Structure 1
Amino acid sequence: MVSKVGLAVFGLGRMGLHHVKNIIMSPRASLRWIVCENIQDANAVKEEYNLNTQCVTPDKVEQALEDSSVDGVMIVSPTGTHEDLIQKSLDKAKSVFCEKPLTPSVPSTRACYDLAESKGKPLLCAFQRRFDPSFYSLYKQVRSGSTGPVRIVKATSRDFPYPPVDYLRTSGGIFKDSTIHDLDMVSWIAGSKPVSVFAYGHAHNPELREFKDNDQVVVVISYENGSVAVVDNGRWCPYGYDQRLEVLCDKMQLSIDNKGVNHLITSGDQGTLLPRPEDNFMNRYPDAYRNELEHFLNVVQGKEEIRVSKEETIQAMRLAELCFESIEKQKTVPYTE
């Protein structure tokens, strides 16, 4: 019998609960600990799924990290807690899976990776879209060479519903909280080092202006290989969670459209009606989150090389920082490391 990978989950918000359910469904993983602020919620999950799991508040996180049955941790807590939890976990020789952004800045992110390397443990930044079957198939086709060189990458990413303003106040800004997924995706597809970045944004919701954030942004990135990426990212879409990708290459164009809530297409004398997109990122990317977990388990067990590298994570973080700089200066800025 193959031994299961023991996991501790830090954070039990909407995303944390989603990861917990995937761990429960995986025959290869065992949920040893839930660490979260609301212990009642954790105990409710434990009872609902009849789990042999220990639940503690963050001030007792050391108990989970001292447990020798814990092979890896999944950090799904607020962004401001990531860096400390990553360092504590690595110091206890645990493999680490962490939602983006790993930390608030490039230097602290680099320091976390350096610590992981010194401890000989993997650190995975959870860019889940890389594990979506459609996006991964597109990536593999481009890398096969059959498409010819990439010319243009266009990514559209718009939230639904509009996130609570209280969340946005502490999110770190749209570029590090939301656009960073697209910055990682277009760079992954382009397969080249960025040269320059231009960003424009606007706060349609006046509350965001209080903390100098935007809810609609456009980013243009040029790359050394001549390709150009255009990102259209927003906090709001009136018809659902909008996720599309288009890649123009020398020999063909590849595109990925929205995933509808069902497969019903209604046609009549007034035209054709397609189903609306899914309501949120969890419904849009269920396969991606499951695949991402299985990849992490493979990495922990030494069966697979980590798919999101230190350099790629830092590059996405740096692009996000330069987007802020471009908006502030109202001009194109060079990519610098």
Structure 2
Amino acid sequence: MLRVGLLGAGRIGQVHAKNIHLDPRSTLAAVSDFLPEAANALAGRYDAAVRSTDEIIADDAIDAVLIASPTDTHADLIEKAVAAGKAVLCEKPIDLSLARALACQAATRDAKRPVMLGFNRRFDPNFAALKAAFGAGEIGKGELLAVTSFDPAPPPPSYVKVSGGLFRDMAIHDFDIACWLFGAVPERVSAMGSSLVDPEIGALGDVDTAVTTLYFADGRIAVIKNSRRAAYGYDQRIELLGSDGLLSVGNVNETTVSRASAAGVTGAKPEHFFLERYARAYVAEWASFVAAAFGEAEVPVSVADGVNALAIAEAATASVKSGAAVEVSV
């Protein structure tokens, strides 16, 4: 049984706690959070102990930690947990600074236990099926990738202030998907962005609407479309055009019911947000981590993958400001 310490009892920590509890090969041993009431509530739900972060990391009886704390704590906690001999699953991103993420990568390169980054979308059953079909050669050589990722509503300005911006917080998932599908990191990035949804986001120096183009060394192109607002729900789609055909993944709707009448044909809206849309992905992600922690499989998402996605996010941020394409430095 994998004994797990959860660092962070917020919204995403609660998702992970449930999956740790439900997995037959793991148990939630302890929870920490800077808000004692949050830690107590979550730990009580799963009969876990409430401990400080340092106590959890130092406890030899705890085999692994899941880091779901604020982003600015991620790199330090990864390094401390690795030094203590723990297996680690950390939510993205490693840090808001590429330099700090690179330092974390160097510090954990010789880790004896698995260190995994939480890019959960790789584990979505639909995206994974597209990846498998592409890998099997069903559409020949991939040439043009289009990823659509629209949130149903913008986050509050208080979140934008600490998130690192749309490219580091939101689009970073799509940058990882592009690298995962194409098996490479783009050479350069060109991005355009505007603040159309919430003027306060623009006042903070961020954008809420963006298009990013990734250029790969062999000529392949990926186009990422992001918006903080889609009135109809959480829009998550992929199209991959290859030399012999097209693979696509559509939205997952709230129901499969459709209604047809003389007025037209209607169906349900897409799932409302990421907690609903990617519920199965989080379960599969945790199962993959457990398998890696037991030495049964390789880590499916490495620290290097996290560094690559962050490098693209930094390049996209710089491109919006400069109006020019920016080389990706990793």
TM range (shorter): over 0.9
1:120 to 85, 109, 112: 112
Q: Distance in 2 between matches of 1:90 and 1:131?
A: 24
Counterpart of 1:265 in structure 2 is 258
Contact 2:31-2:42 within 8 A present in 1 as well: no
**TM-score normalised to the size of structure 2?**
0.96
Counterpart of 1:12 in structure 2 is 9
Alpha-carbon displacement from aligned partner over 1:158-189 (angstroms, at most 9, x marks no partner)? 11232122111110111010000001111211
Alignment CA distance shift 1:334-1:259 (3 Å): same
Counterpart of 1:38 in structure 2 is 35
1:158 to 150, 158, 165: 150
1:318 corresponds to 2:315 = no
Q: Distance in 1 between matches of 2:185 and 2:58?
A: 40
Counterpart of 1:236 in structure 2 is 229
Q: Distance in 1 between matches of 2:267 and 2:237?
A: 15
Alignment CA distance shift 1:119-1:186 (3 Å): closer
Contact 1:197-1:323 within 8 A present in 2 as well: yes
1:54 corresponds to 2:49 = yes
* Unmatched 5+ stretches in structure 2: none
Q: Give the secondary-structure state (helix, strand or coil) at the position aligned to 2:116.
A: strand
1:182 corresponds to 2:174 = yes
Q: Give the drift of 1:192.
A: 3.1
Equivalent AA in structure 2 for residue 15 of structure 1: I
Q: Distance in 1 between matches of 2:22 and 2:71?
A: 26
Counterpart of 2:138 in structure 1 is 146
* Unmatched 5+ stretches in structure 1: none
1:210 corresponds to 2:203 = yes
Alpha-carbon displacement from aligned partner over 1:40-74 (angstroms, at most 9, x marks no partner)? 2222233334x1x1113xxx322111212211111
Q: Give the drift of 1:206.
A: 1.3
Contact 1:113-1:123 within 8 A present in 2 as well: no
Instruction: Percent identity, please.
Output: 33
Alpha-carbon displacement from aligned partner over 1:253-283 (angstroms, at most 9, x marks no partner)? 1111111111111111122101101111010
Equivalent AA in structure 2 for residue 200 of structure 1: M
Counterpart of 1:302 in structure 2 is 295
1:282 corresponds to 2:275 = yes
1:83 corresponds to 2:82 = no
Contact 1:161-1:279 within 8 A present in 2 as well: no
How much is the aligned-residue C-alpha RMSD, in angstroms?
1.4
Task: Give the length in aligned residue pairs.
Answer: 329
Q: Give the drift of 1:296.
A: 0.7
